[in-house]
Amino acid sequence: MNTAIKKHSCFFSAGLAFFCAATLLISVLSTPAFSAGAESARLAKVTVTEIKHWSNPDYTRIVISLSSSAKFSHKLLKQDETLKKPRRLFIDIAGAALDKALPKEIPINDGLLKTARAGQFDKETVRVVLDIESIEDYKVIPFEEPFRIVIDVTGKQTAIQKSAEVKATQAQPPPKAHTPKKAIRIVIDPGHGGKDPGAIGKSGLREKNVTLKITKLLKESLTKNGLNVTMTRDTDVFIPLEERTAIANSHSADLFVSVHINSSPRRGASGVETYILDVAKDEETRRLAARENSTSRKAVGDLEFILNDLIKTAKNNDAINLASAVNNKLVARLKQSYKGIRSNGVKGAPFYVLVRTRMPAILVEVSFISNAEDEKRLRTDKYVEEAAQGISAGVMSYLKDTGAL
C-alpha cells in the first residue's frame, strides 16, 4: 500500500487573508484483501481519496475528493448537551470506503470549525463530520471530473483572524508622506490544464495550451507595468476550480482574471466576450458555464440555486467595469491587426472559479477555438501576443480609471 501525506501548511499573506491547506493524499489500496477495511472496500464502489481545507477570514472550505461519483446527503445537527457534542454538520457518502490511513480527526480550529472527522459509518457509508465552533450558513456543492464534494461554511469574521489583523495593523509603521503606493496584486488564471484540455479545435488545438501562452505574456506585460502578478498555474498541470479561487484569496489579490477560449457547436460563432459572475441569461451561456465548470447543464441550474445569494452580491460595479475595460481594449487591439473581430460584450454566467473571490473577478473568452479562422489565428504567436497585450491594456485602463495607479 502506498500512502503519501502532504503535511499541513499555513501562511499569512499581507496580514489579511489567512490561508491554510491541510492535504491528505491517500492512494487507492493496491491489495484490499490485506486492509482492515477489507469488507467495506470490497462492497464500496468509490474510495474517499483526499480531504482538504482552506481557512479564510469569513469562510472555510472543505473539499472531499472521491475516486468516482457517489450519492451523498448532508445534515446539520444541533448541539447535544447530554452527550457534550457541539453543533455538527455531517455528510454521508453512499457506497464508499474510507482508507484506514486517513486520520480519524483533522484539526481545523479557525473559529468556524473545530475539526473534520472521517469514518466508516457502516459497511457502505463513509461519514464526514464537521464539528462546528460558530457558523451562520453552509453550502454543499458536488463537482465532477474528478468527483468531489465542496463544503463552504460561512460565519462572521473569526476571533483568530481578527486578532491577527489587529497585530498586523499594529506592526505597521505610521504612513510617511513619501511612501510609494503598494503594488497592485493580480492573480491570473490560465483556464484548464493537465488532464483537463478545455475545448479542442477541429485541427486539434487545445484550449489549455493557448490560455497558458496568453497568460504568460500577460504576466510579462503587467509585471513591466509594475503590478505584482501571480499565476494559478504556469505549467501544464491540473488545478481544481475551487483551488484557483483559494489561491486568489490567499494572495490578497486586488484583481482576478481567468483566461479561456470559447467553443460553440455553431461553427460560425466568433468574437470576444467577458464574463462576471451572474446567473446565465440563455441556453448558450448555460452550456458554456457547464463546459467551463466541467459539469452538466442541470448542475449549472443547481449551482445557480445553491449560490443564488452569492451570485447576486458578486454583481458589483467594480467587476462590471473591469470586464468592460478588458473587453473593449482586447477587441480594439485585435481589430488593429485582424479583420472580422467581433465584440459579444460583457455577460454574466455562473462560473464556479469566480465564486467567493474577494476581489473584482472576471473571466475572458478570448476567441472561439471552434471557429476555423479563430483556431488558425490562435496557433500563431502574433495573435497570442496581441490578445495578451489587449487584456493587459484593459487591466491597466481599469486601474487608471479607479485611481489605483
Residue numbers of the site for Zn ion (CB under 5 A)? 191, 198, 260, 292
192: nearest Cα among 235, 146, 239: 239
Task: Compute the least distance from the CB of residue 197 to Zn ion, in Å.
Answer: 10
C-beta closer to Zn ion: residue 131 or 292? 292
Task: Compute the least distance from the CB of residue 291 to Zn ion, in Å.
Answer: 7
C-beta closer to Zn ion: residue 41 or 261? 261
CA torsion, ordered 46, 48, 50, 54, to nearest 10 deg = 120
Task: Compute the least distance from the CB of residue 263 to Zn ion, in Å.
Answer: 8
Task: Compute the least distance from the CB of residue 281 to Zn ion, in Å.
Answer: 19
Q: Please report where in the chains the cell 491577527 appears, as a residue.
A: 164
Q: What angle do CA 132, 138, 142 make, to 5 degrees?
A: 115
C-beta closer to Zn ion: residue 52 or 213? 213
C-beta closer to Zn ion: residue 99 or 196? 196
Q: What angle do CA 72, 286, 254 make, to 5 degrees?
A: 85
Residue 236: how many CB atoms within 10 A of its CB? Answer: 15
CA distances (Å), origin 102, targets 3, 47, 181: 10, 11, 46
Task: Compute the least distance from the CB of residue 379 to Zn ion, in Å.
Answer: 17
Task: Compute the least distance from the CB of residue 192 to Zn ion, in Å.
Answer: 6
Residue 394: burial class (beta carbons within 10 Å; 0-12, 13-18, 19+) = buried
C-beta closer to Zn ion: residue 191 or 193? 191
What are the residues facing 75 on neighbouring strands?
90
119: nearest Cα among 107, 132, 108, 106: 106
What are the residues facing 237 on neighbouring strands?
none
What is the Cα–Cα distance from 68 to 47, expressed in whole angstroms? 8
324: nearest Cα among 346, 348, 343: 346
Task: Compute the least distance from the CB of residue 190 to Zn ion, in Å.
Answer: 10
Task: Compute the least distance from the CB of residue 369 to Zn ion, in Å.
Answer: 9
What is the Cα–Cα distance from 295 to 145, expressed in whole angstroms? 8
C-beta closer to Zn ion: residue 128 or 362? 362
Q: Which residue is nearest to Zn ion (CB)?
A: 260
What is the Cα–Cα distance from 391 to 330, expressed in whole angstroms? 5
What is the Cα–Cα distance from 213 to 232, expressed in whole angstroms? 14
C-beta closer to Zn ion: residue 114 or 244? 244
C-beta closer to Zn ion: residue 116 or 353? 353
